[in-house]
């Protein structure tokens, strides 16, 4: 369990995290979503005791990070997305960490196997690709068999196979009853991995909900293509129903279901070329909810600061 209470972090005049309160529960993968600069990394660094909060508190299993005697066995984290430059082998790197935390040697072999690095365990970490570095970082996070895992953009640098692998790994770890908290700016990735979502923008909490509820928070609409769209639009008028026409011959109907639209068309002899229920994607809802909180906007001239 991770508990964040009224957490605020300022860097000079910049407020990176602004009075954030939420809880990450065990037994599920919780996604941490927000546009670039929203404050995700800062929040995660504060949980791991790497940044001191300006106000508020972050607790892991009821304790502050600095109160853990062997932190690796309490909370595992992958925070840096960059590869490690070291002359040490992956095995030696993990072994050194295991020693300082009282973790048995056999656990090093186990985690190397879990992350698929057994064959390259004797190779210098400095020569690792970004994806291999990510796998090593995940091995470090898992080394102490912690109940809580915090991963900042763990799919960075992984190929599609690696992305699928980490998705299954994280779901499996959550199914074992662990708390799994991962940040991503890839909405589609979180939709497939997370059950719960914490969404922030400009350091503030925007949503704390299940993925399903997040996607369904914007009602589905019905898209119709018809040579008689104007006639159909008239028959559909009613309380709670909004009909718009984004282009000639096309209707977008909100507030009712595809079946109702199809029956109305049949009853009035309207010819349909297409009838489709459209569900908002996680990405659509994310863009809508974070609009106005992004630090940088794409302008026609390029990327311009707000
Ligand atoms: N050490 C620092 N000094 C000054 N400003 C900082 C520092 N660290 C972060 N910030 C600022 O705080 C804000 C939040 O940054 P943070 O890295 O936490 O966001 P993020 O959501 O992780 O973004 P990204 O998805 O781009 O990694 C940004 O505006 C960033 O520029």
Query: In terms of domains, do 136 and 229 share one?
Result: no
Query: In terms of domains, do 136 and 114 share one?
Result: yes
The domain tally of the chain equals 2
Predicted structure pTM score = 0.80
pLDDT on residue 84: 58
| Residue bearing the CA closest to ligand 1, atom 6 | 11
Q: Name all residues whose Cβ lies below 6 A of ligand 1.
A: 11, 14, 16, 34, 36-42, 185
d(CA 198, ligand 1 centre) in Å: 17
Beta-carbon contacts of residue 219 (< 8 Å; ≥ 6 apart): 254, 255
pLDDT on residue 306: 36
Task: Report d(CA 166, CA 181) in Å as an integer.
Answer: 13
β-bridge mates for residue 151, sequence order: 78, 182
pLDDT on residue 305: 38
Task: Report d(CA 103, CA 96) in Å as an integer.
Answer: 10
Query: In terms of domains, do 229 and 95 share one?
Result: no
Number of H-type helices and E-type strands within the chain: 10, 15
Query: In terms of domains, do 189 and 49 share one?
Result: yes
pLDDT on residue 188: 77
Query: In terms of domains, do 196 and 257 share one?
Result: no
Query: In terms of domains, do 147 and 211 share one?
Result: yes
Query: In terms of domains, do 167 and 248 share one?
Result: no
CATH number, domain containing residue 228: 3.30.70
| Residue bearing the CA closest to ligand 1, atom 31 | 37
pLDDT on residue 83: 46
| Residue bearing the CA closest to ligand 1, atom 23 | 37
d(CA 256, ligand 1 centre) in Å: 42
Contact 135, 143 (CB under 8 A): no
d(CA 17, ligand 1 centre) in Å: 9
Contact 264, 242 (CB under 8 A): no
d(CA 12, ligand 1 centre) in Å: 12
Task: Report d(CA 88, CA 75) in Å as an integer.
Answer: 24
d(CA 15, ligand 1 centre) in Å: 9
The phi-psi region of residue 225 (left if phi > 0; otherwise alpha if psi is between -120 and 50; otherwise beta) is: beta
Query: In terms of domains, do 89 and 158 share one?
Result: yes
Index of the ligand 1 atom closest to the CA of residue 39: 18
Query: Which of 7, 15, 16 has the most ligand 1 atoms within 8 A of CB, as the residue to mutate?
Result: 16
Contact 109, 74 (CB under 8 A): no
d(CA 11, ligand 1 centre) in Å: 9
Query: In terms of domains, do 185 and 248 share one?
Result: no
Angle between helices 106-114 and 130-143 (to 10 degrees): 140
pLDDT on residue 295: 55
Task: Report d(CA 190, CA 24) in Å as an integer.
Answer: 15
- Average pLDDT for consecutive 10-residue bins of the chain (306 residues)? 97 95 97 91 94 95 88 88 69 92 94 94 88 91 96 87 92 97 84 92 92 77 94 90 90 90 95 89 77 55 37
| Residue at a domain's end among 176, 193, 216 | 216
289 in a domain, yes or no?
Answer: no
Which residue range forms the structural domain that includes residue 201?
2-216
Nearest to residue 121, comparing CAs of 109, 137, 107? 109
Distances, alpha carbon 181 to alpha carbons 41, 59, 158, in Å? 12, 13, 18
Index of the ligand 1 atom closest to the CA of residue 38: 21
Q: Report angle CA 94, 97, 101 to the nearest 5 degrees.
A: 135
pLDDT on residue 288: 77
């Amino acid at each position: 369990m991770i508990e964040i209470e009224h957490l605020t972090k300022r860097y000079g005049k910049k407020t990176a995290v602004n009075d954030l309160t939420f809880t990450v529960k065990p037994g599920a993968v919780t996604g941490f979503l927000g546009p670039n600069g929203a404050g995700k990394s800062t929040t995660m660094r504060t949980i791991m005791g790497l940044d001191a909060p300006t106000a508020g508190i972050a607790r892991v299993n009821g304790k502050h990070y600095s109160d853990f005697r062997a932190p690796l066995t309490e909370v595992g984290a992958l925070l840096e997305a960059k590869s490690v430059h070291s002359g040490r082998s992956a095995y030696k790197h993990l072994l050194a960490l295991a020693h300082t935390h009282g973790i048995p040697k056999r656990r090093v072999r186990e985690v190397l196997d879990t992350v698929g690095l057994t064959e390259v365990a004797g190779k210098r970490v400095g020569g690792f690709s970004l994806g291999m570095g990510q796998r090593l970082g995940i091995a470090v996070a898992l080394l102490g068999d912690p109940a809580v895992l915090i991963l900042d953009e763990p799919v960075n640098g992984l190929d599609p196979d690696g992305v699928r692998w980490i998705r299954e790994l994280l779901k499996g770890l959550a199914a074992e009853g662990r708390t799994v908290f991962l940040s991503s700016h890839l909405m589609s990735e979180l939709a497939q991995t997370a059950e719960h979502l914490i969404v922030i923008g400009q350091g503030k909490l925007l949503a704390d909900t299940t993925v399903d509820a997040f996607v369904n928070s914007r009602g589905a609409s019905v898209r119709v293509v018809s040579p008689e769209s104007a006639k159909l639009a008239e028959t559909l008028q009613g309380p709670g129903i909004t009909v718009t026409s984004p282009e000639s011959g096309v209707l977008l109907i909100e507030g009712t279901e595809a079946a109702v639209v199809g029956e109305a068309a049949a009853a009035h002899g309207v010819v349909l070329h297409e009838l489709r229920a459209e569900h908002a994607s996680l990405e659509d809802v994310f863009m809508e909810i974070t609009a106005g909180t992004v630090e940088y906007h794409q302008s026609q001239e390029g990327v311009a600061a707000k």
